[in-house]
Structure 1
Amino acid sequence: MKRRTFLKWGGAAPLLLSGVSAAGSTTVKPQNTLVILDGLDSNTSPPRTAIVLDAFARSGLPVTCLLDPDQSQLRPNSALSRVLTERAEKTPGLMQVVSWVKQLGGMTPYSQARAAYEARRALAAILWGNDAPQSLHIAASQTIACDMRPMAMAPSGLRASGIRNVLMRPAVNAGVRPEAWDNGVVRIIGGQRVQLQPSQTAYSSLKNQSVERVYYLSSHDFSNLPLARLQAAATAFAQQVLFPDEGPWVSAILASDIQFRDAYDYQRYVGVHFTLRSDATEKEREALMRFRQELAFEGLSSSFSEKSSVESDFQFWANLKESNPLDEPLTALGSLGQVPSSSAHASTLKRYGIAIELSQKRDVGLGADNTLRIPSVHVQNVRTVSDTLQASMGAADSVLSIPTEILQSKAHQKMVKDALQAIQNDGLSQVISLSDYVGRLVPTDSYTTHFRRTEAYQPYISQQPQIPNVTEREMLMNDAKVAWSYFEKWTNPKTGLCPATANFSKTNPRLHKAVTMWDVGSHIFALLAAVDLKLISEQHFRNAIEKILPNIAGRRSQGRLLPQGWIVTNKFKWGNRNFDGCDAGRLLAALYSLDTHPLSKGLATSTVASWDLKDVVSDGIVHSVEEGALVSTFRSHCAHYAAWAFRIWGIEAKSPYEVLKGKSASDGQMSLLEVCGHIGPMGAEPLLMEALEFGMSPEAAYLADVLFAAQVEEYDETGRLICVSEGPINSRPWFLYQGLQFDAPGRVWAIDTVGGSEEYRTKAFQKEHLAISSKAAYLWSAYKDHTWSEKLLSFVRETAQTPYGFASSINEQTKRPSSNYSDINTNAVILQSIAAMLK
């Protein structure tokens, strides 16, 4: 392990073993050589493949076969499956079949673990129907293959599923580069593509390497030679590989053996876990504690659990937030695989971890239910602890599950201790506790951190908002009057439009008179809320809407009639020719609410019908129009909200968030987090708009929980009130997107800008401008019943009120609002939220 560099996912490069096999005397050390056979699928000729494999076996040349269990279209007992399985069973030291997952090198750690788990299970089903000999399965299942990539993710999620070796297959010849990673995984990148030739002398192109030689053969090339000459060609190739004309002598090996050679320092983890009967006496419990303390004194860690039922004897919850105390048992899971529920916050946070299962089956790794299945050996005889481990698991990671019944005497305890010491000193193994075992192997990248936090806080944040009492209603109505004062003061009486922002300081007063369609949509929502709250009369509401609608009739450009990117508030129908797909989503949502409101039913139908909205939806993706060109909005957090808004008007649109279908809950949620990580930091808006306007989709509901849990955890751990969203500021760059960064570890509150300028992404800028969003505080109160929401709302209510509406935000450091500065969206969303709370 000392030769490896510690590497996090997405971090620096691993230790490159450029001279692994060439170090020292090259006349003595063997040259490790791998022969890899790929291209095996339903189009492969079984007879030709059998001829080549048999020729290799007679020559003593090991060959590793790559098979894509998803794309091969093979079935158990097919001709090619029988060719492979029969030879793997007859000559296990000369032939093995491993899974090939094409895109593995580009996957995040969680996805790596899941892909490896599913690929191994599928491969076993294709070849053996899950009846593979255990020894064959363990050897082959420690290796996986994928395609070579210019930039590859670190293989940090693979050991959780038992993978120790990765082959990165090149499309064309590429120099071999071995990498040793801190988690014990070796990755062999590159190799030489070779075709079988008629004679041994034709292989002069086989190149010497200072590291491993890796040769890739494609089964599809076997048809290039006449059937009668195929065996001779395969034999000639084998002889040339095994006995090269020059260079070091060759040690041809299977891919699964690569770590056992030279400088890779192969090591395995052996977890030790004791199971105590639920009816054990206090004396038996104390005896177990003493014995475990003796083991710990000699550097042999262990864990224990109490048996509660047959179903949960080998299913536990591993706490990843804190280490498990020596005298605290692991939590056994119930029959439904759930952690025992508790209303206490401290108990709930023990869920910050992962479910585990000790499995004697071959389907070890991270399952679709987010349970980590760990290979285990259930010890029944105290005299054969070491022998049982070696016979069952060979050199693979595993856990020894030892019932306390076999520790009844000091002699038996000594036997167990001696056996564990022998394992610890075998030069191969590290004896650790089950808790430590899980902590070392489970994927721990940024996305899984957000996933586990949300899972931990779920019972604590799941309450829906309650009906406000009389006092609360009165305070909310007062807040609504403050928010409505922005519109009363600044709405232009001729056009009916309200400026986007207002700086009403005495020294430098100014209005930003251009408004986007997002702003206009917010204004319409504000009017709907105001009339529902009886802040304005029905006639006032009708008059205001009748002034706004003609201003958004749109402008024709490139043959399309669309609402404009922006219009000014002091002129009639005056604005630019562009169109913004995201802003249109907000406008469409508002017009739908307007169209279905009892006081304005059908009023917006003709306006929306006049627009050529279908012309900006291509392949289901909503586009903006900039200088006449279509620009995709898909890589944006507004795309999901916009898609829903387009759909309610009968225009089908896609959302980047919709990745849950056909997946397990945890797989879907992790996929969603990864999508959002690629988009950018996520705040409350437009995420929570759905709750007020459409009802929450499963995607938005989960992401809201992720953001909410992170903000609550921030307050629990630091006392900081963090409430992020998008909004204007009273200085350059004038508008900021603030949110949680999903692809960053921990809780990173990031800032982005419209142009994505690097000068606004510095830590200093973020620290100076991180703010508590006033509108988001009301959105959260309308969506979640929680003490954090109550504290946040009270703070904003007391701090952010101005003579004309609420200040857009409150600086997180100074706790001061943007004084004499407010905006249309802040006050509109606050009105929307209050109307929702008071309905």
Structure 2
Amino acid sequence: MSFRDNLIKARSGIIFLVALFCGLGLVISLEGAISKTTPQAGQPAPHGLPDQPQETLSVMSVFEDIDPLPLAITGDSTPEDLAYARIAWTYFENNTNADTGLVNSADQYPSTTMWETGSYFIAVISADLLGLIEKAEATARISRALDTLATMRLFDDILPNKAYNVQTGALVDYTNQPVERGLGWSALDIARMIGALSHVEQAYPDLAGQVASVLEYWDVDEMVEDGQLIGGNMVDGELRRDQEGRLGYGQYAAKAMMLYGYDMYRAYRAEDHMMVEEVMGQPIPVDDRLHRNVTPAFTVSEPYVFDGLEFGFDARSHRFATAIYKAQEERYRETGTLTAVSESHLDEAPYFVYSTIWGGGAPWAVMTFRGERLDSKRTVTVKTAFAWYALFGTEYTQTLIDALAPLGDEKTGWPEGLYEVDGSVNSSVTTNTNAVVLAALAFRAHGPLGRANQ
């Protein structure tokens, strides 16, 4: 065979090698360019590049020494797990409206938000995974709700209003009273709903068309700008657009939006607005901005456990979650006080608080939406206990479950938990708590929800 024939025969391999060397050369040249344009500490950034303060780099390095706790996926459900799950599912049997397919945010209170509707969808998928309901019931429930989401009146024909009447699907205010124009939209709530829709598509491909109809009906582009989430708020009768999403919540919401191809590069970055506060020897990531431009900065368990249960931790969120969990365990070790804190509903005014690991300038602060301290309402929350139990499965999480297990009511579901101050029951029974219990128990058997049906 001639040289020419051999050359022709080997042409595909030659092309591959040429491409490989070209790619290698490109990588080397880019690395050189980056090293030349990346400022050294104390030097200004070249024109066109943002400054990278030394404190920004060091604030993330604090977490490099954290050894993430191993996940406690069991691959199976114990009889106790299934009994706990059945209690949680009772709540949804009691609170689903047959006409709209929507679910009450709290027991027998016919109002809901997109966050809670997303929680409902996650509860249905989890109940199906655990064998509590048949797939046909799961798809029928979600399908009915999707019909409502694709036809209900939107705020200014743009996006879902902040609250809806469960019985009628009408726009309401936070007291469940009709409001003609609406309250605006919550980008965080809608992002959680969009994350739930992605889980629906994966679990029930036959519903993909209905999911697409919902997303086509909503003008989702209106809540995304420059890699961030943008909420719509009514202020003095006018619509004001505000950036939404603080540390933890912002990254969780960004993951949901990225599943549908939205650019969330700024929302996903944690370091741009992060400070670190030490609590019980643990570095706690805290946002340096006001929460929703109102409440002083705080950190709760909620977005981190949702991230782990639904999407599966990334390397960063796994370290953050480990530190947040360990601070709560260490508080119990040092004080003997059971600790499992997050945002929670209350059974009396003001009906909702943020129970923080660090917030408003102090560890373990309990704050109202307006930022007032209300430490007497710190609750050992059922949802946080079940979530940590599912994610990490430590001896302490089992202690939490043992303490809270008697609260489950087979007729109504799981209440919020126990008030720390006197051990009395926080008897509010809500969609979010019972949904998290189901998601946690499904995680123990199947792993993250986003992978359970793959």
TM-score interval, smaller chain:
0.7 to 0.9
Q: Does 1:815 align with 2:432?
A: no
Instruction: Check if 1:673 corresponds to 2:281.
Output: no
Q: Percent identity?
A: 24
Q: Alpha-carbon deviations, 1:721-769, whole Å to 9, x = none?
A: 1101112111111111111117857xx111222233x3xx1xxx31x11
For the residues of structure 1 that align with 2:259 and 2:248, how far apart are their CA atoms? 19
Correspondence 1:620-769 to 2 at 5 A:
620-627=227-234, 628-635=239-246, 637-655=248-266, 658-659=269-270, 673=285, 675=287, 680-741=297-358, 744=361, 748-756=363-371, 758=372, 761=373, 765-766=374-375, 768-769=376-377
Residues in 1 aligned to 2:45 and 2:233: alpha-carbon distance in whole angstroms: 45
**Correspondence for 2:89:** 484
Q: Which protein has the bigger helix share?
A: 2
Displacement of 1:641 after TM fit?
1.3
Question: Quick one: structure 1 residues 705 and 555, their matched pair in 2 at CA, closer, same or farther if it must change by over 3 Å?
Answer: same
Distance 1:730 1:638 in 2: 25
TM-score by length of 2: 0.74
SS in 2 for 1:818: strand
Matches within 5 A, 1:489-638: 489-502=94-107, 511-553=108-150, 554-558=152-156, 560-575=157-172, 577=182, 578-598=184-204, 600-602=206-208, 603-627=210-234, 628-635=239-246, 637-638=248-249
CA contact (8 A) 1:688 1:779 kept: yes
Q: Is the 2:309–2:443 Cα contact (8 Å) retained in structure 1?
A: yes
Q: Which residue of 2 aligns with 1:231?
A: none
Query: In 1, Cα distance between the equivalents of 2:311 and 2:330?
Result: 28
Is the contact made by 2:229 and 2:243 (CA closer than 8 Å) also made in structure 1? yes
Contact 1:516–1:567 (Cα < 8 Å) also in 2: yes
- Counterpart for residue 389 of structure 1: none
Is the 8 Å Cα contact of residues 639 and 655 (structure 1) preserved in structure 2? Answer: no
Matches within 5 A, 1:92-491: 111=55, 458=66, 462-467=69-74, 473-491=78-96
Structure 1 position 557, deviation (Å)? 4.5
Question: How far apart, CA to CA, are the structure 1 residues paired with 2:377 and 2:252?
Answer: 26
Q: Is the 8 A contact 2:114 2:163 kept in 1?
A: yes
* 1:478 aligned partner, one-letter code: A
Q: Structure 1 residue 675: deviation in Å?
A: 3.5
Unaligned runs of 5+ in 1: 1-66, 74-101, 116-367, 371-447, 503-510, 662-669
Quote the offset at 1:540 in angstroms: 1.6
Q: Are 1:711 and 1:723, in contact at CA under 8 Å, matched by a contact in 2?
A: yes
- What is the rounded CA distance, in whole Å, between the counterparts of 1:529 and 1:488 in structure 2? 14
2:387 matches 1:789: no
CA apart distance, 1:535: 1.4
- Helix, strand or coil for the counterpart of 1:808? strand
Tell me, yes or no, if the aligned pair for 1:658 and 1:699 is still in contact at 8 Å.
Answer: no
Out of 402, 408, 411, the residue aligned to residue 803 of structure 1 is 411
Which structure would you say has the larger Rg?
1
Counterpart in the other structure of 1:71: 44
Shift of 1:489: 1.4
Alpha-carbon shift at residue 685 of structure 1 (Å): 0.9
Aligned partner of residue 82 in structure 2, secondary structure: helix
Give how far 1:776 is off: 0.8
User: What is the CA deviation profile of residues 252-280 of structure 1, one whole-angstrom value per residue up to 9, with x for unaligned ones?
Assistant: xxxxxxxxxxxxxxxxxxxxxxxxxxxxx
- Cα displacement (A) at 1:619: 1.7
Secondary structure of 2:285's partner? helix
Name the counterpart of 2:11. Answer: none
Per the TM alignment, residue 702 of structure 1 is displaced from its structure 2 partner at its CA by 1.9
Which AA in structure 2 matches 1:497? L
Q: Report how far residue 601 of structure 1 moved.
A: 4.7
**Distance change in 2, residues 1:676/1:807 (3 Å):** farther
Q: Alpha-carbon deviation of 1:462?
A: 1.8
Task: Determine if contact 1:660/1:699 at 8 Å carries over to the other structure.
Answer: no
- Structure with the higher fraction of residues in strand conformation: 1
Could you tell me how far 1:700 is from its partner in structure 2?
1.9
Q: 2:407, 2:414 within 8 Å by CA — same for their partners in 1? A: no
- Return closer, same or farther for 1:600/1:694 CA change in 2, 3 Å cut-off: farther
Matches of 1:686 and 1:740 in 2, distance apart? 13
Paired residue secondary structure (2:393): coil
Task: Provide the secondary structure at the position in 2 that maps to 1:686.
Answer: helix
Aligned-pair Cα RMSD in Å = 3.2
What is residue 315 of structure 1 aligned with on the other side?
A: none
Q: For 2:122 and 2:409, how far apart are their aligned partners in 1?
A: 20
Distance (whole Å) between structure 2 residues aligned to residue 783 and residue 677 of structure 1: 29
Q: Could you tell me whether the CA contact under 8 Å between 1:464 and 1:784 is conserved in 2?
A: yes
- Any idea what the Cα deviations from partners look like across 1:140-166, whole Å, max 9, x if unmatched? xxxxxxxxxxxxxxxxxxxxxxxxxxx
Q: TM-score, normalised by structure 1?
A: 0.41
Task: Determine if contact 1:657/1:675 at 8 Å carries over to the other structure.
Answer: no
- Corresponding pairs, count: 374
Question: Alpha-carbon deviation of 1:709?
Answer: 1.2
